[in-house]
Amino acid sequence: MTLRPQADRRRRLSTWALRSAAVLVVFAVGLALGQALDDSSPPAGTRTSVRTLVPGTLSAETITVTVVTAP
């Protein structure tokens, strides 16, 4: 049984429209999922912390140095 050219054309058009709608739905779901995952993650970026270190005091050490000169 052969379809009329008009019915065949209508069937191809509806198949194309259904596939396009399916692609758009999958794209929208993927976009929504990506946004949801991005919103739930902590903010990225560089965190800078500035601290001033207090210098420690060193105890004085006594060192004896002997210098010998040759005559």
Residues of the chain short of pLDDT 70, as ranges, are: 1-3, 40-44
pLDDT at site 11? 85
pLDDT at site 41? 61
Q: Judge if pTM exceeds 0.85.
A: no
Quickly list H helices, 1-71.
Answer: 5-40
Say how far apart CA 22 and CA 29 lie, in whole Å.
Answer: 11
Provide the token pair at 21. 């709608």
Going from N- to C-terminal start, the domains of the chain cover: 1-38
Terminal-residue alpha carbon distance, the chain: 127
Residue partners of 3: CB distance under 8 A and separation at least 6: 11
